[in-house]
Structure 1
Amino acid sequence: MTHIRPACPADLPAITAIYGHHVATGRASFEISPPPLEEMQRRHAALVAAGMPYLVAEVDGVVLGYAYAGAYRPRIAYRDTVENSIYVAADSAGKGLGRLLLAALIEACTAIGLRQMIAVVGDSANVASVKLHEAAGFRQVGVLRSVGRKHGEWLDSVLLQRALGEGDTTPPRAEPG
């Protein structure tokens, strides 16, 4: 049985290994070198400190995937919009973990009052990720052609967007400051 829960520091070695595999062998992440554990710890701590959800999918006590939301852009006007990231262990792909993680991430972001979620899918050939997002209610809003170069190839970024909760159907929260 799969258990989706908030990630904790003890999960970071498994998260680092999952992500490292995707960085080294895949085209979903535009990072070239897998970040070390210390960098992944820093990233996790920053997201948690910002109040963002960071989840893991655990099966029989083993972390097989993770997902998190982070600020879409740093400027304050984007404060209600997040970008998601989802990675699943290579030997667990296609088993529904990504779907479970994305659903839980959408729920967690909605619960804290966020209004829009953006998926930036690395590589337009990453059909599985595009379909995963579309099945969760995202719609494709654009493709940035040949904006990344990795493994000797030019890569696209596919942009998908989904409203959270009331989306833009109600007035925004008060302006800060």
Structure 2
Amino acid sequence: MTAWLAERVLAYGSVGIVALVLLVPALEAALPIVGALMPGQAAVVLGGLFAWHGHIAIETALLAALAGSVLGNVAGYAVGRRWQGRLSARAPAGTRRGRYTEQAVGLIERRGAGAVFVGRFTSVLRTLVPMLCGASGMPLRRYLLWSVLSSAVWAPAFVVIGYIMGPAGPG
């Protein structure tokens, strides 16, 4: 899958690479189904690979990954805020789904900052935490602080992993 994607992205040059590194992490956090199809982490690692091969500057890959991560988190938070009441209503109390939803929102309410930070590094949580933070009513300023901090660690870590893997990856 990654090799196929790399070939398609390279057809659009540096614009395609930057779009991949920015949009996939953004869409992953804003629309959870995207994360199941193409994890943002894989796109960011590809950005590092392409940087090693000289298709884009590593700084460009870093900025695109950071911007995509933060923008996606903010969009996911906004979706959670918008659908706050519907989240509980769609998962009836007493059912398994209702209990899981209540537990997840409870976790966000108890461990908000930690959940935001750790969630950025866990594939399933990366797609759900932004929406759950919005739905739980976490204050936007607090959410933004932890979203930016976690993204500022996550984005460089995975771009650098891709850069280090550069000699073995697609070029």
Structure with greater proportional strand content:
1
Structure with greater proportional helix content:
2
Q: TM-score, normalization: structure 2?
A: 0.32
Bigger relative contact order, structure 1 or 2 (CA pairs below 8 A, ≥6 apart) = 2
